[in-house]
Amino acid sequence: MKGYFSQLILLICISFLVGCGSLQEKRPTSKVNLNAHRSINSYQTRQALYSQYKDWQGVRYQLGGLTRAGIDCSGFVHLTFKSRLGLDLPRTSAMQARLGNEIRKDELQVGDLIFFRTGKISNHVGIYLEKNKFLHASQKKGVTISSLNNAYWKSNYWKSVRL
């Protein structure tokens, strides 16, 4: 029990140190298997993402969070890709933004990552669904689906990447 408690405290401390890209991170030493995502067709990916939304809808935003008690945007993307699509992405949005190939906004397909500049040193990340909608952990609404046509998201759009 004592070991479990120590691990829990360590996990909580680490969670506070990583957020939605607010900290710089070293490049990962192991390569991410970007082709694994391509092998899943768009229908299966869409179903997996909507299923994740159903399971996590409304879970509140918490900087550095990685559980149903609270989760941040990059943590949600990290967990979603790992649990639903079998792809291990880095934990922060800064590192996630370095993956894949940059694509134009009008080329978005289900499962692509969408990045927003939300502050001087912070970014926000979500996962494209369809019809200009994306799945993410919002500071105000928690895990939700938003529209890229929303004025806030439109004005803060930075880039999109395909893994």
Q: Which of 20, 37, 73, 78 is catalytic?
A: 73
Q: How many other CB atoms are found less than 10 A from the CB of residue 98?
A: 12
Q: Which of 20, 37, 78, 136 is catalytic?
A: 136
Confirm whether 73 is a catalytic residue. Answer: yes
Reduced to 3 states (helix: H, G, I; strand: E, B; else coil), residue 43 is helix
Q: How far is it, in rounded angstroms, from Cα 126 to Cα 124?
A: 7
Phi, psi of 53 (to 5 degrees): -60, -45
Confirm whether 124 is a catalytic residue. Answer: yes
Q: Which of 20, 37, 78, 124 is catalytic?
A: 124
Question: Do 123 and 51 touch, CB atoms closer than 8 A?
Answer: no
Catalytic residues: 73, 124, 136
